[in-house]
Structure 1
């Protein structure tokens, strides 16, 4: 019995997830140990804590960035074969468009200084670093400040996620150019203004005590409402009718629905493992 138990334990530790997680855990522990043992002066300690906070924020940003891959697999797996390339292209380009929009306007509207700070930021367009005097306050009161560029990346990946949420709702119903323009304005205007109300130090919702730690409102509600509006404007998906080869709505006049089957459920199933691994690391 003892031999069997040892064998089971050894197999457990050989699972693929541990191979990925153990180096990450070891790196974090070593960095924290270095900070704990290296307190020669108060300035050195402050600098080390700042570096650790920066590493943690960047790690969280990288994990959120990989959500785009999960969205792409999910949408491509559940769509028809003929539209898979279009959907994968959307998910590949949406983050590039989100980066430009957030760099041009979004981060300034969200975290920039402003005479009407309760409503929107008005400084820091094109990522001019002189317009963000209070940007650290939105990071849930971290003990030590992090660099502005790390804060920008952290918010950028969430903005890109909000735009990617829309992609799934309008899959197989929107042209690529229209979706990219839609994503640009969402990330440049809608997302940052809502984010300013909630996460900026002087945002009016934050002043009222509104708390949104993980983006349930700023990211998912904004992305979800934009997706709802897009799906409502575009209507249901269409299919090619066999009788006359015309593209018609999948809903017939009598209310019945024509099934549109996914072409690759194995790809869609990979999202479950991808999401579980991603969420476990973010906990």
Structure 2
């Protein structure tokens, strides 16, 4: 009888799976409370680093979502028969941009070197730990990398809109790898390196 009353109260709009979220939310909140109670005293500088990293992570995620927006824009400008190809291209280009920037781009952009590009280590992010702080900033290297790779991928995605339906897929992938592994990082080194 009680389940029938609950079913009528929630109607078809409410899925029963959501009821499982209530105890899960309680467990998460209780765990956080106990963890916060057991912590040492927090230093203001540590809080600043944490807040800066959270903010830059949110900003990087928004830039990554911008790639989806560019994909939708390009799809709207293309013929219907090419819609799936354009969206696939944008997804693959961002993945390749991430890999090429990880392998080579970050080192060319932010490792020590000369005024043209960096060349002293950092390829494949070798020797860089998750807790390392970027020199001159209050950001950890993984968060800074995410932020920078978001813009490198966006640079390749912007170009993909200009050449939609006009270039071979394999040629554009090669161009994207070269752009995000060499061209974009060198320019980044000139400005921020």
TM-score scaled by length of structure 1: 0.51
Task: Tell whether the 8 Å contact from 2:133 to 2:139 is kept in structure 1 after alignment.
Answer: no
1:121 aligns with 2:114: no
**1:94-147 CA-partner distances (Å, limit 9, x unpaired):** 110001100110000000122x2x11111200111359x98433xxxx5xx211
Q: Could you say which residue in structure 1 is the equivalent of 2:182?
A: 189
Runs of at least 4 residues off by over 4 Å: none
2:133–2:141 contact (8 Å) kept in structure 1: no
Which residue in 2 is equivalent to 1:44?
Answer: 43
Aligned to 2:112, the other structure's residue is in SS state: coil
Q: Is the 8 A contact 2:133 2:140 kept in 1?
A: no
The structure 2 residue matched to 1:164, chosen from 153, 157, 171, is: 157
Partner of 2:143: 150
3-state DSSP of counterpart to 2:89: helix
Distance 2:79 2:172 in 1: 18
Q: How far 1:61 moved relative to its partner?
A: 0.3
Check whether the contact 2:60–2:146 (CA below 8 A) recurs between aligned residues: yes
Match of 2:7 in 1: none
Could you say which residue in structure 2 is the equivalent of 1:90?
Answer: 89
Q: How far 1:165 sits from its partner (Å)?
A: 0.7
Closer, same or farther in 2 for the Cα pair 1:130/1:54, shift >3 Å? closer
Structure 1, unaligned runs of 5 or more? 1-39, 201-283
Q: Distance in 1 between matches of 2:128 and 2:58?
A: 26
Q: In the aligned structure 1, how far is the partner of 2:180 from the partner of 2:57? A: 20
How many Å apart are 1:48 and its aligned residue? 1.1
Q: Which has the higher helix share?
A: 2
User: Against the structure 1 CA distance between its residues 95 and 50, is the aligned structure 2 distance closer, same or farther, given a 3 Å change threshold?
Assistant: same
Separation of aligned partners in 2, 1:50 and 1:66: 24
Partners of 2:133 and 2:96 in 1: how far apart?
26
Match of 1:53 in 2: 52
Whether the aligned pair in 2 keeps the contact of 1:57 and 1:150 (CA below 8 Å) is yes
Structure 2: which 5+ runs fail to align? Answer: 1-39
SS of the residue 1:161 aligns to: helix
Indicate conservation of the 8 Å contact 2:134/2:140, yes or no. no
RMSD: 1.9
Question: Quick one: structure 1 residues 97 and 105, their matched pair in 2 at CA, closer, same or farther if it must change by over 3 Å?
Answer: same
Equivalent position of 1:109 in the other structure: 108
1:191-230 map, 5 Å: 191-200=184-193
Partner of 1:70: 69
C-alpha distance in 1, partners of 2:163/2:62?
A: 25
TM-score by length of 2: 0.73
- Larger RCO (CA within 8 A; separation ≥ 6): 2
